[in-house]
Amino acid sequence: MTMMNRTKCLEILKRHIADEIVISSYSTASEWVEMSDRALNYYSHGAMGLGSSHGLGMALALPHKRVVVFDGDGSLLMNLGTLVTIAAAAPKNLVHLCFHNGTYEANGGHPLPKRDVDFCGMARSAGIKQVHLLDNMANFEQQIGGILKQEGPVFADIHVETGPITPRAYDDMYKPERRQKLREALKA
């Protein structure tokens, strides 16, 4: 499995994210809050496995807004049924990005029981039609802008290296002021 640097992928994503709602949790959220602290970010607190479900709920409740989920492979494994539910609901405004590093990184970097899980195959089997595998930086840079604009639901399996296992500032990330800013941005 080829691996990319997640931070570099997020920096590229930042150039493409404008007025979309971004839902992220755990490791990816820790990096995203540092590089793109914005009102339309939603951080899933204590909800390992539920980022995609939160994204689906937002996409269905706000069909006029594009929703992009930054999920982890460990989180997705904890809630695989979400792929079937997303396919059945078929929100045109949902993009589900799975950062796949083969570990439960947020919980100490423990390896997944099977590191080379075929998430693209699972997403297709669930009924999601727009499915992408991104495992090298050249393809990521070339394709991510178009992927973010495709009619959803969209799923992408993004192969990244395990990031640093460091303490995370969850208290700051999940402070009530951030949720209030999100509510205000959604009303605007």
CATH code of 6-187, in short, is 3.40.50.970
In the chain, domain spans: 6-187
DSSP 161: -
Distance CA 50, CA 67 (A): 14
pTM of structure:
0.92
Length in residues, the chain:
188
Phi, psi of 144 (to 5 degrees): -60, -35
pLDDT digits (tens, 9 = 90+) for 79-121: 999 999 999 999 999 999 999 987 666 666 666 677 788 999 9
Strand 21-24 and strand 41-43: pairing?
parallel
Q: How confident is the model at residue 48 (pLDDT cuts 50, 70, 90)?
A: confident
Q: How confident is the model at residue 168 (pLDDT cuts 50, 70, 90)?
A: low
Q: Measure CA 58 to chain center.
A: 13
Does the pLDDT value for residue 1 go beyond 60?
A: no
* Of 97-101, 115-119, 152-156, 179-183, the least confident: 115-119
